[in-house]
Structure 1
Amino acid sequence: MKIAFSPCPNDTFVFHAWAHGLIPNAPELEITYADIDITNRLAASGDSPLDVLKVSYAALPWVLEDYALLPCGGALGRGCGPLVLTAGTRTDAAALSGKRVAVPSDRSTAYLLFRLWAAKHVPGGVGDIVIMPFHEIMPAVRDGHIDAGLVIHEARFTYPSFGLSMMTDLGSWWESDTGLPIPLGAIIARRSLDLPAITKWIQASVAYAWANPEAPREYVMQHAQEMDAAVAKAHIDLYVNDFTANLGDSGYEAITTLLNRAAQEGLVPAIDPELLKFQP
């Protein structure tokens, strides 16, 4: 079975057991390690050779005809949202009116959260949206090439070293506005496959990792791109949670709320609720 997921610790932790033949009756995996922006495009291309992929929830409206959202294996969370950063002293939302904002992707939860927040808080809306590699965003804001930047992951902890100020924590805004977790990464599988079986194999892989937390360590660190072991563990602890085993009602509510709000703003195509929820 051909699968693609990121080399991030949460994904390698989740899929370690299946990748190493530890799940009874599960087929051998042919794994492609790829950034989520790449898998988003592959899934939406219409000619992807992959059976199972990790994508952003924000990409679902473009892929649900061919791929089903599985109720496990992905990432939803709290306290892990993206930030909007500026180099100036003004941190009120009005300062973004008509300004240029750099984002790492236009098919990510971070991007949707930013646009939904801006629609409510930035008078007249922002100006140009500039897509640039994630690692270039903070230097570009610092050097004045861009007015503000949307950042994710470890930038939550490193932005002060660039002399930048936080305008807003979009995760905190989303959670206070909706009471729901932040939908980040989803696992999807071709609708022509045995979806109940794939769901069981992924859930078994998650259960194995939780029952044997030391077993995935070498595999996780092999792909962790020089990440410190303590940071990798914190990453896993944050992103591998109850939603990874089963989205549950609140998980589906978070996904539906995000995509419906984004569709109302014209950011994504409207989704068919019948296509969204697969129950094995």
Structure 2
Amino acid sequence: MDITIGHTPDADDAFMFYGMLSGKVTSPFFNVKHVVEDIETLNKRSLKHELDVTAVSVHACAYLDDYTILRSGGSFGKGYGPIVVAKQDMDVEKLQRSKIAIPGKLTSAFLLLELMIGKFDYIEMKFSDIPDAVASGKVDAGLVIHEGQITYDQKNLVKLLDVGSWWRDSTGGLPVPLGVNVMSNHFGIDVIRKFDAFFRESIIYGMARPSDALDYAMQYGRGQAKETIDKFVRMYVNDVTIEMGILGEQAIRNLFQFGIEKSLVPEFELRIA
């Protein structure tokens, strides 16, 4: 069976798919073709149902009509997640009146920040452009995801808010639900679960061979040092990535419950394999 998979140009995604896309882990059921796009592009493509399997922001799942969330391959932060940075310190009241760069309206980071501070003025831009936009003064602050969470100080920026810590403290320690992989419902639940198991095997393979998987992931390192990418990958490829479990599923459900209560997302049927 031929399937098309979308993943992001990020080291953690590449690390997860290393076994599968390198041919080290194979399946008698699936022939995989992959495409690489940034997360907000994949979110928008999923709205059009263009890919069989794709990485998406958890937030985007509120708007997907015909996909099921896989139990493997999720990006969950354990007490850490997106941060808000600026050139100088400011309080939340001033931040709410400022122009904040965000990596996309469908990203989980955007929904989480709205839950944390309420509505705010924003401008969308590619996630990798946000630190420079803040440093240059193009925007007052930036909502930073991916490796920018650990490299922002290289541009002399300061951290204003830690969304991951806020989520942990607000939920009694649940992991921060950021990204998941989804598969088209037209395959049926049995095939979806077979692919989920295939993907899980790929993740386990990479985690058992971290040096090889990291070397593969470095093609999406965006010029960062290997030590930085290693740190970033270890942040978001963890036991919840292998299988979201009760805590991961509860984190997703809580995110949408909070969002619905504040009218930030519509009510919908959540489908998890």
Q: TM-score scaled by structure 1?
A: 0.86
Corresponding residue for 1:108?
107
Which amino acid in 2 is paired with 1:224?
Answer: G
* 1:264-275 correspondence to structure 2 within 5 Å: 264-272=261-269, 275=270
Secondary structure of 2:31's match?
Answer: coil
Secondary structure of 1:29's match?
Answer: strand
- In 2, the alpha carbon distance for the partners of 1:196 and 1:157 equals 35
Q: CA deviation at 1:60?
A: 0.3
Corresponding residue for 1:86?
86
* 1:185-204 correspondence to structure 2 within 5 Å: 185-193=179-187, 194-204=191-201
Which stretch of structure 1 is more off in the superposition, 173-182 or 18-27?
Answer: 18-27
**1:31 and 1:264, CA in 2 relative to 1: closer, same or farther beyond 3 A?**
same
Contact 2:82-2:163 within 8 A present in 1 as well: yes
Contact 1:75-1:184 within 8 A present in 2 as well: yes
Corresponding residue for 1:122?
none
- In 2, the alpha carbon distance for the partners of 1:103 and 1:24 equals 38
Secondary structure of 1:276's match?
Answer: coil
CA deviations on 1:78-124 (whole Å, 9 max, x unpaired) are: 243112223344x32122243322212111111011111112xxxxx
Which amino acid in 1 is paired with 2:101?
Answer: A
Corresponding residue for 2:11?
9
**1:6 and 1:142, CA in 2 relative to 1: closer, same or farther beyond 3 A?**
closer
Q: CA deviation at 1:161?
A: 4.4
The answer as to 2:98 corresponding to 1:96 is: no
Q: Return the match for 1:257 from 254, 257, 261.
A: 254
Q: CA deviation at 1:155?
A: 2.9
Contact 1:88-1:164 within 8 A present in 2 as well: yes
Which stretch of structure 1 is more off in the superposition, 143-152 or 23-32?
Answer: 143-152
CA deviations on 1:175-201 (whole Å, 9 max, x unpaired) are: 111121111110100112211111111
CA deviations on 1:181-240 (whole Å, 9 max, x unpaired) are: 111110100112211111111111122222333443442233433332222222221111
* 1:17-36 correspondence to structure 2 within 5 Å: 17-21=19-23, 22-36=25-39
Q: CA deviation at 1:243?
A: 0.9
5+ unaligned residues in a row in structure 2: which ranges?
Answer: none
Contact 1:259-1:271 within 8 A present in 2 as well: no
Contact 2:39-2:57 within 8 A present in 1 as well: yes
The answer as to 2:272 corresponding to 1:277 is: yes
- The alignment covers a number of residue pairs equal to 266
- In 1, the alpha carbon distance for the partners of 2:158 and 2:103 equals 18
Secondary structure of 2:35's match?
Answer: strand
* 1:124-163 correspondence to structure 2 within 5 Å: 126=120, 128-163=121-156
Q: CA deviation at 1:143?
A: 4.4
- In 2, the alpha carbon distance for the partners of 1:183 and 1:132 equals 21
Which amino acid in 2 is paired with 1:15?
Answer: F
Q: For the pair shown, which has the larger CA radius of gyration, 1 or 2?
A: 1
Calculate percent identity across the aligned residue pairs. 32
Runs of 4 or more above 6 Å deviation: none
Contact 2:147-2:232 within 8 A present in 1 as well: no
Which amino acid in 2 is paired with 1:70?
Answer: L
Corresponding residue for 1:118?
117
Contact 1:56-1:108 within 8 A present in 2 as well: yes
Which stretch of structure 1 is more off in the superposition, 229-238 or 158-167?
Answer: 158-167
